[in-house]
């Protein structure tokens, strides 16, 4: 049985440890004192004029999915698809797994594959089958599934590199009896070119009257007489002849 002396030593040692720890804590608080900021949080510098328009311009700097698909490689896309094969089948008539079969996915109505139970978020996104998996929707969804379709059950984080994303979509395009046509490039650039044409044509239209103004009296001068010297009327085709005035003085 432990005597009182041993018990006193243990209690004393415990109290000494507590005292040392408490002293160290007080000393550290004194040396490394922390002060609460006047305003909680961090100040974020915002550039004036950087609203939604600036964000749209920044997003539009990179090539579009239509441009990337022109040089995309389906073979590389098949390699990118390998992790997707854990949840999806790609062959025609393939079974549904964690995700639906992807044969004919391009331009297929969203949340429409037979026999698969879609999440509520995906069904809402489909708008009753009105939305289809075109190239733009595939690009947005594969880039960040949970951000693009709120409430989707797809756990895939997304393809971050635009080139790999285009290769993957190019591979998905081949999963069909008749692959869908590639999107046209330059449709968005044609409108500015057409709008610029009237601006270029305006100076030419303004210069035309300036060039025509001096020549109008010279051409119109011979056309003023309604009759010829022999009393016959002049036809509209013969009236503006420019050599007639030069020959008439010689005849007189």
Q: pLDDT tens for residues 84-95?
A: 999 999 999 999
What pLDDT does residue 2 have?
60
Q: Encoding tokens for residue 69?
A: 């698909």
Strand, coil or helix: 82: helix
Q: pLDDT tens for residues 115-162?
A: 999 999 999 999 999 999 999 999 999 999 999 999 999 888 899 999
What pLDDT does residue 6 have?
82
* pLDDT greater than 80 at residue 220: no
* pLDDT greater than 50 at residue 49: no
Higher pLDDT, 231 or 38: 38
Contacts of 137 (CB under 8 A, 6+ apart): 110, 131
Q: How far apart are the C-alpha atoms of 121 and 149, rounded to whole Å? A: 7
What pLDDT does residue 115 have?
94
What pLDDT does residue 26 have?
82
Please report the DSSP string for 30-43 in residue order: HHT-----SSSS--
Query: Angle at Cα 198 formed by Cα 196 and Cα 202, nearest 5°?
Result: 120
Higher pLDDT, 30 or 74: 74
What pLDDT does residue 141 have?
95
What pLDDT does residue 225 have?
43
Radius of gyration of the chain from Cα atoms?
41
What pLDDT does residue 132 have?
96
Strand partners, 233: 227
> Mind listing the domains of the chain with CATH numbers?
65-174 (1.10.760.10)
Q: How far apart are the C-alpha atoms of 8 and 2, rounded to whole Å? A: 10
What pLDDT does residue 41 have?
56
- 160 alpha carbon, distance to own chain's centre: 14
Q: Is 71 exposed, middle or buried (0-12, 13-18, 19+ CB in 10 A)?
A: exposed
Q: What percent of the chain is predicted at pLDDT more than 90?
A: 48
Q: Encoding tokens for residue 8?
A: 């006193």
What pLDDT does residue 155 have?
85
Higher pLDDT, 57 or 33: 33
Place of tokens 């160290």: 24
* pLDDT greater than 60 at residue 206: no
């Amino acid at each position: 049985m432990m005597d009182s002396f041993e018990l006193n030593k243990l209690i004393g040692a415990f109290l000494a440890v507590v005292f040392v720890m408490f002293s160290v804590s007080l000393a550290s608080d004194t040396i490394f004192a922390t002060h609460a900021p006047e305003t909680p949080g961090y100040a974020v510098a915002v550039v004036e004029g950087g609203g939604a328009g600036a964000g749209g311009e920044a997003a539009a700097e990179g090539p579009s999915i239509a441009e990337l698909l022109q040089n995309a490689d389906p073979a590389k896309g098949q390699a990118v698809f390998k992790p997707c094969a854990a949840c999806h089948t790609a062959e025609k008539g393939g079974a549904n797994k964690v995700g639906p079969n992807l044969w004919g996915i391009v331009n297929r109505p969203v949340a429409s594959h037979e026999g698969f139970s879609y999440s509520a978020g995906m069904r809402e996104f489909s708008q009753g089958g009105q939305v289809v998996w075109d190239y733009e929707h595939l690009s947005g969804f594969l880039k960040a599934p949970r951000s693009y379709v709120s409430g989707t059950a797809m756990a895939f984080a997304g393809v971050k590199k635009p080139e790999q994303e285009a290769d993957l979509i190019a591979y998905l395009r081949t999963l069909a009896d008749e692959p869908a046509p590639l999107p046209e490039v330059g449709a968005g650039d044609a409108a500015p070119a057409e709008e610029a044409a009237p601006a270029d044509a305006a100076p030419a239209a303004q210069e035309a009257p300036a060039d025509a103004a001096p020549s109008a009296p010279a051409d119109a001068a011979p056309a003023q007489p309604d009759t010829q010297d022999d009393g016959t009327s002049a036809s509209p085709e013969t009236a503006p002849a420019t050599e007639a005035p030069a020959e008439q003085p010689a005849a007189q």
